[in-house]
Amino acid sequence: MDYLDISLQLSEDDIAIKNAAHEFAEEIMRPAAKALDEMSAEDGVAKKSPLWPFLKKSYELGYHRILLPEAYGGLSLSPLQLNLVLEEWGWGSMGLGVLLGVAAFPFFAIALTGDDELIEKYVIPFCECTDGSIRGCWCGTEPEHGSDILYFDDFFKNPKIKGNVQARLKGDSWIINGQKSAWVSGGTIATHGLTFLQVDPSKGMAGGGVCVVPLDKGVSRGKPLEKIGQRDLNQSEVFFDDTKIPANHMITEPDYYPEMVDLILGAANAAMSALATGVARAAFEEALVYARERVQGGVPITKHTSVRQRLFDMFAKVEACRALSRAVFNFNFNVSPPVTEYSIAAKTRCTQTCFEVTHEAIQILGGNGLAREYLVEKIFRDARASLVEDGLNEMLAAAGGLTITETYPRKSSDIY
Ligand SMILES: Cc1cc2nc3c(=O)[nH]c(=O)nc-3n(C[C@H](O)[C@H](O)[C@H](O)COP(=O)(O)OP(=O)(O)OC[C@H]3O[C@@H](n4cnc5c(N)ncnc54)[C@H](O)[C@@H]3O)c2cc1C
């Protein structure tokens, strides 16, 4: 039930892509997400879990390739098309949307390097995969370092701060040891990890590197994490025990590490804004449908002015999220490197608004809003998780705040 889309520049292709993504979200994502939400985290990744047919179907439809260029077998979507698909995924399920996004992460990062050998070895087989058997994840957060991996203060360069995962060069291989936190999305089932780690402890967190690690030999996982929201998104610790990767798998070393953190954050935060817009829209729609049917005072509650005002406020918030998210996609996926403070603005604003809209949806449904039987109960929990996910909103704001206080007013000639 999408309302009028006021972007007049949507082409027929764009609309077809959006409609197909909506069908996928409604028919494939939502049923799988509902089933997974109700299962234990362990059952959610077991052999008979609905997760596996969901992944297979997603890969068959090519949705794992949305971030990748056509030259390597990707879908080469325009920034706007990418945004449209992610909004629909968010409408279907934020958790499963994130799972599909991180599945592509290591391959997206390799594609950015332009390294032919790595592209041949990893990106092309990933794009050709149609059964969901090649799955990436992002191994960033560590037991002792969550917000520490964001560059928003001088402590980033403090040599006393030691990473929980470190790599040392031995001959022509890197040897990796340590543990990532329980928050690695898709970590339970991933075959490859885009791994952030410390390679030069003398530089503190700034002495980081980014590498691609096949998660087979020398790697183990923790138990799937039980949590309040996005329960359809499996997460677990990843342990590295003398894990060996060839030297060229370290795609970023300390010289470019802060830039790489920025680049990944710029892309991921933008993606989060579109997903959150979809979640907010889903909550608004659920509230509207319910309010048309629920009778109080002898009339449907939509006849009460205060309910209409609240529904309109939700509607306006969804439109504001969509406008900001699309504008940031259009900009940041067309400039290189992305101007990360805009992606941060979109992520923090859209997830916060999404939380407010899902909160209001519960209020519109009254007691039923709290019942498992109604979708808003799940999406409210999912929205809550998004305030922490991909960087706590207040910490992202601190990172964005550092940039704007140092660089404002920024000229377009500084960027292009
Ligand atoms: C659904 C979900 C999916 C996720 N997916 C992934 C993933 O795929 N890969 C991955 O690596 N991680 C993932 N994460 C982890 C996420 O990025 C971290 O949880 C987040 O960055 C916060 O880190 P933390 O939980 O360690 O909190 P902390 O950083 O420990 O923060 C705790 C509190 O301390 C405050 N604080 C921290 N540092 C400072 C400071 N310097 N100054 C002032 N206050 C401070 C914060 O504001 C917060 O209130 C995911 C998280 C969620 C919820």
Atom in ligand 1 nearest the alpha carbon of residue 394: 47
Specify the CATH architecture of the domain 136-255: Beta Barrel (2.40)
Average pLDDT, the chain: 96
* Domain range annotation of the chain: 12-128, 136-255, 258-414
Q: Is the confidence at residue 1, as pLDDT, over 70?
A: no
Q: What percent of the chain has pLDDT over 90?
A: 91
Atom in ligand 1 nearest the alpha carbon of residue 185: 8
Reported pTM: 0.97
**Could you tell me if 296 and 374 are in contact, meaning their C-beta atoms sit under 8 angstroms apart?**
no
pLDDT tens track for 299-355 = 999 999 999 999 999 999 999 999 999 999 999 999 988 999 999 999 999 999 999
Mutate-to-test residue for ligand 1 from 150, 351, 390, 396, highest number of ligand atoms within 8 A of CB: 390
Question: Mapped to the 3 state alphabet, what secondary structure does 136-182 carry?
Answer: EEEECCECCECHHHCCCCHHHHCCCCCCCEEEEEECCEEEEEEEEEE
What is the dotted CATH code of the domain comprising 258-414? 1.20.140.10
Mutate-to-test residue for ligand 1 from 265, 272, 389, highest number of ligand atoms within 8 A of CB: 389
pLDDT tens track for 34-48 = 999 999 999 999 999
b/e sequence 270-289, b meaning 16+ C-beta within 10 Å: bbbbbbbbbbbbbbbbbbbe
Q: Is the confidence at residue 146, as pLDDT, over 80?
A: yes
Q: How confident is the model over 124-132, as a mean pLDDT?
A: 98
Whether ligand 1 lies within 6 angstroms of the CB of 146 is answered as yes
Atom in ligand 1 nearest the alpha carbon of residue 388: 53
Mutate-to-test residue for ligand 1 from 154, 234, 388, 394, highest number of ligand atoms within 8 A of CB: 388
Atom in ligand 1 nearest the alpha carbon of residue 153: 41
Question: Mapped to the 3 state alphabet, what secondary structure does 74-116 carry?
Answer: CCCCCHHHHHHHHHHHHHHCHHHHHHHHHHHHHHHHHHHHCCH
DSSP character at residue 71: G
Whether ligand 1 lies within 6 angstroms of the CB of 225 is answered as no
- DSSP, collapsed to helix, strand or coil, labels residue 409 as coil
Topology of the domain comprising 12-128:
Butyryl-Coa Dehydrogenase, subunit A; domain 1 (1.10.540)
Q: Residue 92: what residue type?
A: G
How many Å apart are CA 15 and CA 21, to the nearest integer?
10
- Ligand 1 centroid–CA 391 distance in Å is 5
H-state helical runs in 25-78? 30-38, 41-44, 51-60
pLDDT of residue 172: 97
**Residue among 190, 18, 41 nearest 92 (CA):** 18
- Ligand 1 centroid–CA 196 distance in Å is 15
How many Å apart are CA 268 and CA 329, to the nearest integer?
11
Mutate-to-test residue for ligand 1 from 93, 141, 387, highest number of ligand atoms within 8 A of CB: 141
- Around Cβ 297, how many Cβ atoms within 10 Å? 8
pLDDT tens track for 235-261 = 999 999 999 999 999 999 999 999 999
Listed in sequence order, the residues at least 6 apart from 71 whose beta carbon sits closer than 8 Å to its beta carbon are none
Whether ligand 1 lies within 6 angstroms of the CB of 389 is answered as yes
Whether ligand 1 lies within 6 angstroms of the CB of 391 is answered as yes
Share in percent of the chain as helix, strand, coil (round to 5)? 60, 15, 25
Whether ligand 1 lies within 6 angstroms of the CB of 377 is answered as no
**Residue among 265, 267, 313 nearest 288 (CA):** 313
- Ligand 1 centroid–CA 147 distance in Å is 5
